Chains A and B, each alone.
Chain A
Amino acid sequence: MELNIEQLSKSYGGKTALNGISLRIGEGIHGLLGPNGAGKTTLMRLLATLLEPSSGNAFIGGIPLRDKAQIRRMVGYLPQEFAVYPGMTVLEAMDYLALLSGMQSRAERKRRIDALLEQVNLTQQRRTKVKALSGGMKRRLGVAQAMVHEPQLLIVDEPTAGLDPEERIRFRQLLNRFSEGRIVLLSTHVVEDVESTCEQMTVLHRGELRYHGRTSELTAAAAGRIWTAELERGQWERERERFPVLSAVPEGTGMRIRILADERPYADAQPAVPSIEDAYLYLMRKEAAVR
């Protein structure tokens, strides 16, 4: 199973949302990272057949995007704004969406829905109306409905938004289990989600590809550019505009800061091991500087 994207572009009027993206994504969870307007949602909508590409193509398991009927059978999609008809219960929503996904056998639907609700910890809420669910529960239901027909490619847009840390961890485990033999495309703003679940990741910025590769290797780009230092509060106030600050934690009368700089910014600044988040921010910062 492979997702192969070839020179995929999408323009809205005169504005290019995605510009000639080429990617090859194998089985497992693949992170899609980028700021607002990077083209993540456009890419996901293209893969979910909700948009027509302006040019280029993509193949899911060798099936071209234009073969929409077949692609829709292979894709599960959780949009960023997940909602169902008001008044539907969790069970009714799952059953209705499973039916729309072509699951004709009632027994099969029941078996699959029961198992999924158990996995997303919504069994107790099966008779609860969706509008009465908390934000976190809705996200869990959203993922469950996307998985219900066991798609080969699961596309999830911001699945952990609004989840508490415990739910977020459960969520990652769920995606991990589901990704065996499948592709999960996880779009998120939360770098930690990518760091802890994705072996591979893609960074988009303004519709263009900025990074595509192993998650662990993204940090290499920022190596030697992350520094920590302790500054007096007065000095901190004066210096804060000089370097991009990644974090600032008050410590006694001073501040412990983590900054991005090509060279040692202060004599007593210490080099730090970059995290994925540092590396991502470095990538975005570099992009901004180039422009």
Chain B
Amino acid sequence: MRELIGKEMRMTLRSLVFYLFIVVSCFFYFTQYATDETWGELGPPSSSAPQNIGTAEHPLYGWRLPANAGELAQSIQQEMKWNLESGTVQKLRLGFLVDTRLSEREKQALSAAASELEKVIQNADQYTMDDVHQITGDLNRELGGNSFYRIGVDSFRINVETPEEALAAQKQVAADYEAKVSAGELLPGAARYFCDYLSLSAGVFPVFLSAFLLLRDRSSRMSELIYSRSVSRWAYVGSKFIALGIMLSIVYLLLAVLGAWQTVNVLELEGQLGEALSAFLGYTAWWLLPTVWASVAFGMFGSMLFRRGIVPVALQLVWWFISLLPLMGSYDFYRLLIRFNSPNDYNLYRDWADEIALNRGFYLVLAVLLAAGAAWLWERDRSRADAGAVFRKPRRGKKSSAPAEAL
């Protein structure tokens, strides 16, 4: 089987779509991760003099994240009040935030949560930010599990309205950055950020290759030739699955190497390339590759099930789309991608690590099961030349040289 995998990998190298995939992946890397915005977020915070970007009546010196449970509770409570006044709340529908009318039960849940937050505001030093997240998490479940209050949908930033406040916020950001660096969390955070962006391409583009991988036998009119050979279904379909998986994984691992090198270079982290490579390759292998392999297997399985490549492509697009949001905090089994759109928030990551591990483990198992399913369906077609569209029908009007027909 090793030789078969090698041959399949060489065949992948001849595919124009594979090179398009590389181009698209590089495009995502350079336009999503390797940008000035990313370097700005990853690098040390600036300490320029605060400037009013609002008006004289309503000064605004920027925004900052809530620094403690009290501020976070206050910010969220304000949102709740607006919701109760308008009688609506935003909910995620097919990847979009849509205003939805609140039912009486939901209004009661909102009021109860607002009261809970009031207790936090009154006794802020007795609560942690996790306690606040717990309250909003419970509220989100009451609202159907896909509301604005889901963690990761919004970060509830606070307006900075005075220069003093702005300077204090700058100090806090600088202190947080130093703490992150001291804790060795800068590069893992960058690696997670890298995976978050690259998962956008990993969750959809592999299917353009895999959905046509087995159908190529039919379009090349090789089905009969291959079906009649003694190769087993596992060796044939498995070698194609493994070969394409490896080729696509290599692309992402190379981009991870590039990402590690560029991050170290831009942030001037001398002597930390080894650490960066370890973080980027590790997160890529664990976060990105299960998505890639599941997409490969899904394309192969779908193409065998529907006998059309376009169907799994369309289904994968839908799957990808509903996995895009929220930007972090949702790792249900139906989510093909791991979204963690922040180079910081290590605490949140630590809280979700088990969910993420379960999700990734699930997708690795799913990839193997789908590939096995594709092999099973391939074998089903193997002795069913009469199943329709498996073999090319003779061309109409093809003249026969049969002497009997000349009579």
Q: Which residues of A contact B (CB under 8 A)?
A: 12, 34-36, 45, 48-52, 68-69, 72-73, 75, 77, 79-87, 92, 95-97, 99-102, 104, 106, 145, 149, 189-191, 205, 244, 277, 280-281, 284-285, 288
Contact = CB atoms under 8 A, between A and B. Distances in A.
B229 A72 contact: yes
CB-based closest 3 A-B pairs: A284-B404, A83-B221, A100-B229
A48 B224 contact: yes
B404 A280 contact: yes
A191 B404 CA distance: 10
A208 to B, nearest CB: 14
Given A35-B404, A281-B407, A96 B7 contact: yes
7 contacts: A36-B405, A73-B230, A80-B394, A86-B220, A99-B231, A149-B230, A280-B404
A218 to B, nearest CB: 13
Given A72-B228, A85-B216, A50 B404 contact: no
Interface in B221-259: 221-222, 224-232, 236
Contacts of B407: 244, 281, 284-285, 288
B220 A190 contact: no
B313 to A, nearest CB: 21
A185 B58 CA distance: 92
Contacts of B105: none
Interface stretch (B120-128, B178-186, B345-353, B378-386): B378-386
Nearest to B226: A100
A215 B404 CA distance: 17
Nearest to A244: B407
A190 B404 CA distance: 11
A85 B11 contact: yes
Contacts of A68: 383
Contact of A191 (B3, B224, B394, B403): B403
A189 B228 contact: no
Contacts of A189: 400-403
A101 B229 contact: yes
Given A35-B405, A49-B227, A72-B230, 8 more contacts: A51-B384, A51-B385, A52-B384, A73-B230, A85-B222, A99-B3, A284-B403, A288-B407
B403 A277 contact: yes
Given A12-B386, A50-B227, A285-B407, A100 B401 contact: no
B229 to A, nearest CB: 4
Contacts of B230: 69, 72-73, 100-102, 149
B55 to A, nearest CB: 65
Given A69-B232, A81-B392, A280-B403, A50 B382 contact: yes
Contacts of B226: 100
Interface string B373-402: 000000000111110000110100000111
A45 B228 CA distance: 9
B4 interface: yes
Nearest to A96: B7
Contact of A48 (B221, B228, B232, B402): B228
A77 B222 CA distance: 12
Interface string B208-224: 00000000100011101
B400 A85 contact: no
A166 B331 CA distance: 69
Contacts of A51: 383-386
A82 to B, nearest CB: 7
A97 B7 contact: no
A106 B3 contact: yes
Contacts of B228: 48-50, 72, 75, 77
Contacts of A48: 224, 228
Contacts of B382: 49-50
B385 A35 contact: no
A86 B220 CA distance: 7
